[in-house]
Amino acid sequence: MAEDRIAREQASAANHKIDAHEDRCSERWREARDEMKDLRQRIFDTRVSMEQGHRRLTGWIIGGQGSVILLLGGFLISKLI
């Protein structure tokens, strides 16, 4: 009987350690998942901001080229007249 009691106590202690370990792992998993969600959002925000900057730069370059073409065309026409 004493051996059964000791075995039950050891099993109970082992189960308690397993439960505590699973709880810690679950908490770490939740924290890691939350960190990944935050990182994913920051990457998305960075990509969107880079795309917007690229569009502004492209528009500025195209607009600048159009102005140069108009100025050059006006200059050439004035020389012909």
Q: What is the 3-state secondary structure (H, E, C) of 21-61?
A: HHHHHHHHHHHHHHHHHHHHHHHHHHHHHHHHHHHHHHHHH
Write down the pTM of the prediction.
0.48
Q: Total structural domains in the chain? A: 1
Q: Which domain holds residue 6?
A: 1-81
What is residue 56's predicted lDDT score, i.e. its pLDDT?
72
Q: What angle do CA 45, 61, 71 make, to 5 degrees?
A: 160
What is residue 62's predicted lDDT score, i.e. its pLDDT?
66
pLDDT at 63 over 70: no
Distance of alpha carbon 64 from alpha carbon 71, whole angstroms: 11
Would you give the DSSP letter of residue 12? H
Structure tokens at 70: 């108009």
